[in-house]
Amino acid sequence: MSAKLLLGQTLSFSQSPFDGSIDASVNHLRRGAVLVSDGKIAQVGSADAMIAANPEVLQINYGDSLIMAGFVDSHVHYPQTAMIASWGKRLIDWLNSYTFPEEMQFGDSAYAAEISGRYLDLTRANGTTTMCSFCTIHPESVDAFFTEAQKRGQRVVAGKTCMDRNAPEGLRDTAQSAYDNSKALLAKWHGQDRISYAITPRFSPTSTPEQLESMGALWAENPDCLMQTHLSEQTDEIEWVRSLFPNARDYLDTYEQFGLLGKGGLYGHAIHLEQREKDRLREVDGSLVHCPTSNTFIGSGLFDMAGLISDGHRIGLATDTGGGSSFSMLRTMAAAYEIGQLRGTPLHPAQLLWLATVGSSQSLWMDDKIGNLSAGHEADLVILNLSSTDAISQRAMRANDIWEAIFPTIMMGDDRAIEAVWIGGSEAR
């Protein structure tokens, strides 16, 4: 693969902007360059120096647009693509009314492939280059998603969703079949090209203790895999969990007692946590995933970003398609800002961009590969046009610094702001 030199503004992170000053955390070059070679970022630096050092390399000039790492979406349900923005339900009714009927169709390989391709195209158009997705109970849904991602050269994580109770008959497996099918899919796909498998019990209410135990056993046998599930999304969900697991200390304990709490565990939502749960999640270094558009759309609550970050938790950012109401990580960042405002702790633009890139890659334990504009990382990039609409442009023209120039795109941007996307060192079309 021939080398290319991308020119424009560049932005990367040297540390978390939650841990120190913004200026010390961010590397911004007004006239920067990124050298891409063999699918990876070879070098990042000033445009003048890198043009002089690489006179024969093909140049692609993005002008004043911002070159940064592609967005990483750490909790999605690709099978919910077609039913996104469904009206008027809270979690449990929403699952029964919209989600489960749609997921019934994913035993059809052709339908699963159609939605997989549509989802990956929609998210690429919004600048997302990696995501961690729930599939359905059907092995066909996993094969379809990984096959479509493989065609596009994407780094993705996904797994067969496991449910053996409190779901329609056509969406229930068993403790044994969940183990057997998950194990076979893991062996088939994990580590192939840029694909990783995640062991995926949907959440405690839809798995018997026997199934949770079988998933814990599979994770213990494959500790290099991630494990993804849901935790403490809504208060009525928590009461349901209490009724199903009367001997559990709390919601988290329904995972902990079956070996589903640990490093490499991703716990979506995590809004209404008790102190013991917070302490244990921090002790094991589990990842919490903030899904702001979903939390507001389904009426779940306000995630405590400031408190959890200050306590040292590992946190990612996610659209939670299709409970989340947008495929866009820009819109997701905007919603995270708005939730921060409601809690009295607004997030700085640098913190929002960090969550959507480095933070989410850390939540997936992939920050050595993706999520930052750094030499040696895989060349998954997004180029943002910071004047993509008249409304954004007129505000950005009054900017006094880079953050005032970027923030209007975070708050008002959509797929028109995505000038280009690079996946694995090639511009995606």
350-370 pLDDT, tens per residue? 999 999 999 999 999 999 999
302-329 pLDDT, tens per residue? 999 999 999 999 999 999 999 999 999 9
Provide the pairing of β-strand 195-201 with 161-162.
parallel
Residue 175 tokens, joined? 């403790």
User: pLDDT value at position 88?
Assistant: 77
User: pLDDT value at position 1?
Assistant: 59
Write the DSSP string, 206-270: GS-HHHHHHHHHHHHH-TTSEEEEEES--HHHHHHHHHH-TT-SSTTHHHHTTT--STTEEEEE-
CA–CA separation, 187 and 172 (whole Å): 22
Asked if residues 26 and 12 have their Cβ atoms less than 8 Å apart, the reply is yes
Q: What percent of the chain has pLDDT over 90?
A: 96
Provide the pairing of β-strand 26-37 with 4-13.
antiparallel
Query: Which domains does the chain carry?
Result: 4-70+372-427 (2.30.40.10), 71-363 (3.20.20.140)
User: pLDDT value at position 91?
Assistant: 80
Residue 110: is it exposed, middle or buried by C-beta count within 10 angstroms (0-12/13-18/19+)?
Answer: exposed
Nearest to 64 by CA among 7, 8, 5, 127: 8
What's phi and psi for 71, nearest 5 deg?
-70, 145
Nearest to 320 by CA among 114, 117, 123, 96: 123
Q: Which residues contact 390 (CB under 8 A, 6 or more apart)?
A: none
Which amino acid, one-letter code, is at 390?
D
Residue 30 tokens, joined? 């007004």
122-164 pLDDT, tens per residue? 999 999 999 999 999 999 999 999 999 999 999 999 999 999 9
Nearest to 361 by CA among 278, 287, 309, 283: 287
Write the DSSP string, 361-417: HHHTT-TTTSSS--TTSB--EEEE-TT-SHHHHHHHTT-SSHHHHHHHHHHH--GGG
333-343 pLDDT, tens per residue? 999 999 999 99
Distances (CA, A) of 342 to 139, 261, 346: 41, 30, 8
User: pLDDT value at position 92?
Assistant: 83
Q: What is the pTM of this model?
A: 0.98
Residue 429: is it exposed, middle or buried by C-beta count within 10 angstroms (0-12/13-18/19+)?
Answer: exposed
What H or E segment, with its residue span, contains residue 74? strand 71-77
